[in-house]
């Protein structure tokens, strides 16, 4: 009976995998002992069998067992570290965080966000829109340097110069290069964390602006 440590361990990543591997190892032990007893019982007394093979197989089983125990311990450590990380994320509730989003909050007549272009652009404009896509304001002549964050502040006024009530709005960057091709971009803004969800072992934040974001996407906290 040939035992392969790499096959038996199988790249364990969860406690369930460790349990399955442990059960298989127990079965292999029982099969090994039955085979050993059968061969010893039926060997020729005048020509005793070579025990080297059995010793080698037993050593392989022992190595596999050690690998399974090691993986099980690593899984426990990983679980504890994950729990510590989740507890750390709880501290985000009630804090202001900066995350990638196209939603901005107008509060006390002011809204701020940043955008970053994937490459240089020759013509950049910012549109502020309502949730249904109605354009409230378009700000032209924005910086077109790629690969850097550009801060933008909206004074809360529409295209006619009238103040807009506080609320949540969307922003869109219209950027084109010298060949009149659209330039991809990313936008980020700051909002408050109201709730957390830990579904699937991943921390998801429910934000005041109505958006959701993974805790791992936070670029700043205050």
CA 64 to the chain's CA centroid: 32
Token pair of 109, please? 């007549």
Q: Is 148:61 a contact under the CB 8 Å cutoff?
A: no
CA distance 9 to 20: 10
Q: Which residues pair with 157 in a beta bridge?
A: 163
What average pLDDT does the segment 91-114 reach?
96
Instruction: Give the pLDDT confidence score for residue 63 in this predicted structure.
Output: 73
Q: What is the pLDDT of residues 162-214, one digit of tens each?
A: 999 999 999 999 999 999 999 999 999 999 999 999 887 788 999 999 999 99
pLDDT of residue 38: 73
- How many residues does this entry show for the chain? 222
Q: What pLDDT sits at residue 139?
A: 97
Residue pair 103/210 in contact by the 8 Å Cβ criterion? yes
**Is a pLDDT exceeding 50 seen at residue 9?**
no
CA distances from 85 to 78, 81, 88, 164, 202 (A): 11, 6, 5, 40, 10
Domain ranges of the chain: 5-90, 98-190
| pLDDT of 1 strictly over 50 | no
Band of residue 42 on the pLDDT scale cut at 50, 70, 90:
confident
pTM for the predicted model, two decimal places: 0.64
Site of tokens 């960057």? 173
DSSP, res 147: T
**CATH number for the 98-190 domain, one of 2.60.40.4070, 2.40.10.120, 3.40.50.2300, 3.40.50.1100?**
2.60.40.4070
- 3-state class (DSSP) for residue 215: helix
> What tens digit of pLDDT does each residue of 120-179 get?
999 999 999 999 999 999 999 999 999 999 999 999 999 999 999 999 999 999 999 999
pLDDT at 20: 74
Q: Which two tokens stand for residue 162?
A: 């009238």
């Amino acid at each position: 009976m040939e035992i392969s440590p790499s096959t038996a361990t199988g790249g364990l990543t969860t406690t369930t995998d460790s349990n399955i591997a442990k059960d298989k190892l127990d079965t292999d032990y029982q099969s090994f002992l039955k085979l050993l007893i059968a061969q010893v019982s039926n060997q020729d007394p005048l020509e005793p069998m070579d025990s080297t093979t059995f010793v080698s197989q037993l050593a392989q089983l022992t190595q596999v067992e050690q690998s399974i125990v090691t993986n099980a311990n690593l899984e426990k450590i990983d679980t504890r570290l994950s729990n510590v990380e989740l507890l750390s994320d709880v501290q985000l509730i009630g804090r202001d965080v900066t995350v990638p989003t196209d939603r901005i909050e107008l509060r006390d007549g002011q809204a701020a966000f940043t955008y970053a272009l994937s490459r240089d652009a020759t013509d950049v404009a910012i549109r502020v829109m309502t949730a249904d896509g109605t354009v409230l304001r378009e700000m032209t002549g924005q910086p077109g340097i790629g690969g850097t964050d550009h801060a933008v502040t909206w004074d809360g006024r529409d295209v006619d110069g009238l103040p807009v009530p506080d609320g949540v709005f969307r922003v869109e960057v219209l950027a084109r290069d010298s060949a009149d091709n659209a330039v991809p971009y990313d936008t980020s803004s700051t909002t408050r964390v109201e709730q957390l969800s830990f579904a699937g072992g991943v921390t998801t934040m429910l934000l005041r602006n109505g958006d959701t974001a993974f805790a791992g996407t936070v670029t700043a906290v205050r």
